[in-house]
Amino acid sequence: MDVNTQTNPPSMPRIGDKAPAFKAVTTQGEINFPDQYAGNWVILFSHPADFTPVCTSEFMTFATMEDQFAKANCKLVGLSVDGLYSHIAWLRTIKDKIVYRGMKNVEVKFPLIEDITMEVAKTYGMIQPGESTTKAVRAVFVIDPKGIIRTIIYYPLSLGRNFDELYRVLIALQTADAFSVATPADWRPGDEVIVPPAGSCGVAKERMENKQDMTCHDWFFCTKKLDKDKVLGTILKK
Ligand code: BEZ
């Protein structure tokens, strides 16, 4: 990495920031991001290049799960620094020719942004020069219905993402919001959730003496049951 990049790191969006706004051409027409997604969760993700194998496996997987994400009120938006006609040709090839792990005739219905100027990719820190100066890394931004960035995950070029994990992240964020709880390591719906830490000595004492519906491993670490049906019934569209 060059010295200048180390001393003057580029500014990148952070968790809790408003998602930087942009207008872009996509395979589904123009989009006005994030305003047109207000009221929805959205996953904005980048991939290095069209017509490459890891990216193809990712797009087939994500497109196959699009309805599952939609039920959790979440829309998907992809990006690479390729042009629109390359995107269209690649998505047509995926649908018409590629059979992979039981997936075939996969139609990518979510928008794929063309970003040949790298303007959006650079704004979102998707170009990481130590990895590539000409391709976006595999970035994932989970953005909430108010346009706030809630999770950022980056993967290198060679590593395909785990889309079950991205779905788990989405459901965990929504669960934390809906039930005012946190979610422990490896949490999945139906597992115990973490009650916010005691904010006073009185509450800490009460928690240890009168645990009510909680399991307290110590005063600062209390969990409680949260039924899977309650979680999914609250979050998922009927
Ligand atoms: C791929 O998607 O297969 C890929 C893209 C860029 C670099 C390495 C792999």
Amino acid at 196: P
Residues 62, 129 within the same domain: yes
Q: Which of 56, 127, 158, 161 to mutate to test the pocket of ligand 1 (most atoms within 8 A of CB)?
A: 158
What is the distance, to the nearest Å, from the Cα of residue 203 to the centroid of all Cα atoms in its chain? 35
Per-residue pLDDT at 3: 47
- Catalytic residue annotation: 55
Other CB atoms within a 10 A radius of the CB of residue 167 amount to 16
Residues 120, 187 within the same domain: no
- CA dihedral defined by 88, 164, 193, 173, rounded to 10 degrees? -10
What is the distance, to the nearest Å, from the Cα of residue 184 to the centroid of all Cα atoms in its chain? 18
To which residue do tokens 């998922």 refer? 236
- Ligand 1 nearest atom to the CA of residue 49, by list position: 5
Which letter does DSSP use for residue 37 in this model?
Answer: G
Cα 135 to Cα 125: distance, rounded to the nearest angstrom: 12
**pLDDT band at 208; cut points 50, 70, 90:** confident
The ligand 1 site (C-beta within 6 Å) comprises: 48-49, 52-55, 135, 157-158
- Ligand 1 nearest atom to the CA of residue 135, by list position: 6
Residues 58, 119 within the same domain: yes
Per the CB < 8 A criterion, the answer to whether 145 and 38 are in contact is yes
Closest among 43, 55, 60 to 159, alpha carbons compared: 55
Per-residue pLDDT at 205: 87
Q: Which of 136, 163, 190 is the last residue of a domain?
A: 163
Residues 219, 125 within the same domain: no
pLDDT tens for 185-207 read 999 999 999 999 888 998 888 88
Closest among 56, 109, 60, 51 to 85, alpha carbons compared: 51
Per-residue pLDDT at 197: 85
Q: Which of 129, 163, 197 is the last residue of a domain?
A: 163
pLDDT for 171 beyond 70: yes
Residues 100, 131 within the same domain: yes
pLDDT tens for 109-119 read 999 999 999 99
**Which secondary structure element, helix H or strand E, spans residue 178, and what is its range?**
helix 163-179
Residues 55, 156 within the same domain: yes
Cα 154 to Cα 92: distance, rounded to the nearest angstrom: 27
Residues 24, 112 within the same domain: yes
Q: Is residue 170 part of a domain?
A: no
pLDDT tens for 155-170 read 999 999 999 999 999 9
Name the residue with the closest Cα to ligand 1, atom 7. 157
Residues 47, 128 within the same domain: yes
- Specify the CATH number for the domain of residue 80: 3.40.30.10
Q: Which of 105, 130, 163 is the last residue of a domain?
A: 163
Residues 32, 133 within the same domain: yes
Q: Is residue 188 part of a domain?
A: yes
The fraction of the chain above a pLDDT of 70, given in percent, is: 96
Q: Would you state the structure tokens that stand for residue 109, as one six-digit string?
A: 């219905």
- Please give the distance, rounded to the nearest whole angstrom, from the Cα atom of residue 32 to the centre of ligand 1: 28
In which domain, by residue range, is 44 found? Answer: 3-163
pLDDT tens for 37-87 read 999 999 999 999 999 999 999 999 999 999 999 999 999 999 999 999 999
Cα 145 to Cα 157: distance, rounded to the nearest angstrom: 29
Per-residue pLDDT at 207: 82
- Specify the CATH number for the domain of residue 200: 3.30.1020.10
Residues 152, 196 within the same domain: no
Name 140's bridge partners. 45, 153
Q: Is residue 175 part of a domain?
A: no
Average pLDDT of the residues in 107-134: 98
Query: How many distinct structural domains can be found in the chain?
Result: 2
Residues 90, 192 within the same domain: no
The fraction of the chain above a pLDDT of 90, given in percent, is: 86
145 preceded by a cis bond (ω within 30 of 0)? no
| Cβ-based burial of 158 (10 A; exposed 0-12, middle 13-18, buried ≥19) | exposed
Name the residue with the closest Cα to ligand 1, atom 1. 54
- CA dihedral defined by 192, 193, 196, 201, rounded to 10 degrees? 10
Q: Which of 47, 52, 90, 126 to mutate to test the pocket of ligand 1 (most atoms within 8 A of CB)?
A: 52
pLDDT for 20 beyond 80: yes
- Ligand 1 nearest atom to the CA of residue 58, by list position: 2
Cα 39 to Cα 53: distance, rounded to the nearest angstrom: 34
Amino acid at 43: I
Going through 145-194 in order, the beta strands assigned E by DSSP cover 149-155, 193-194
